[in-house]
Structure 1
Amino acid sequence: MRLPLLALLVSGPAHGYELKQSLEALLGAAYPRPNVGQIYVTLGRLEKAGLIEGEEVEQPDRPNKRTYRITAAGRETVAVWFEEATVEPRVRDEFFMKLALAARAGTAGRTSLINRQRRRYLKSLRELSRMAASEDRDNRVAQLLIEGAMLHLQADLEWLQRCQEELE
């Protein structure tokens, strides 16, 4: 959460709730909605780290709000983040660990594990399809997020089929 918040602050100062709304508008319904409490805790940590500066803004007839602005160190952190490629190999997949240990533990059959996982992936695909249909068509970022998740699930389904063929 810290790097996306920093990246949002590059475009200008904002308070926590504005940042929450910006993330939700950008990423759409498929991405888990950020908790506003988590956002404020993260902003506090970023401020302590010197990556942002907070300022109390007085509001007539309303409680003051704290607005955050990115620092030079924060801008550098964002620049480095965008320069780094993201690699998340799936070798620590929890399902695969279950599958590998099923025969040894003797508590679950591999085929039943694969079928249960397949049903879960198919359910997720249906949910994402509904989200894609209801998501604002003009929000290309959200549409691409949903499409990417669906492609990953389709690959996971193909991999499950391969596992089943190899292990039976």
Structure 2
Amino acid sequence: MRMPLLALLSRGPAHGYELKQDLEQLLGAAYPQLNVGQIYVTLSRLEKSGLIVGEEIAQSSRPNKKIYRLTDAGTEALSAWFEETAEEPRLRDDFFMKLALASHTGLADQIGLINNQRREYLNIMRGLSKLSITENSDNRIAQLLIEGAMLHLQADLDWLERCQEELEGPR
């Protein structure tokens, strides 16, 4: 959450709740709801590391609020982040660890695990399909997020099929 907050602050000073609203509006309902408390914890850490500075603003009828702005170091960190590539693939996958340990320990049936995971992915895809229809169609970023998630799920379903074929095939 650090870098997305810095990116939003590059547009100008803001307080935590504004940043939460900006991210939710940008990403749409498909993105998990953000915890405002976690945003403020992250902002505090960013401030301690010198990437942002906060300023208390007095309000007459409400408690003071803290407005954050990006520092030069924050701008440099943000530029470096945009230059980096994503470090995936997912080699540390919790499901695959269960699958690998199931036969090794005898604690679970591998095909049963695959079938359960397949059902879960299909349920998630159905939910995303409904969300795609109800999500504001002019929010192209949210639509791309949903589409990306659907493509990842389809790849995961294909991979589950491959796992099942391998496990059920001749030894």
- Structure with more of its chain in strand, by fraction: 1
Give the structure-1-normalised TM-score.
0.97
Deviation at 1:90, TM superposition (A): 1.2
| Residue equivalent to 1:12 | 12
**How many residues in Structure 1 have an aligned counterpart in Structure 2?**
168
Residue segments in structure 1 that go unaligned for 5+ positions in a row: none
- SS of corresponding position for 1:103: helix
Identity %: 69
> Which residue in the other structure is 1:35 paired with?
35
Q: Secondary structure at the match of 2:63?
A: strand
Give the Cα separation in 1 of the matches to 2:84 and 2:38.
Answer: 25
Q: Bigger CA drift: 101-110 or 77-86?
A: 101-110
Gaps of 5+ in 2: none
Q: How far off its partner does 1:60 sit?
A: 2.1
Instruction: Give the root-mean-square deviation of aligned CA atoms.
Output: 0.8
CA distance in 1, matches of 2:123, 2:87: 27
Partner of 1:149 in structure 2? 149
* 1:126 partner SS: helix
- 1:14-163 aligned within 5 A: 14-163=14-163
| Structure 1 residue 59: Cα displacement | 1.7
Report SS of the residue matched to 1:87.
coil
- Secondary structure of 2:166's counterpart equals helix
TM-score, scaled to structure 2: 0.96
Distance 2:144 2:87 in 1: 19
CA distances 1:64-93 after superposition (whole Å, capped 9, x unpaired): 111001000000000000000112211111
Structure-2 separation of matches of 1:99 and 1:47: 42
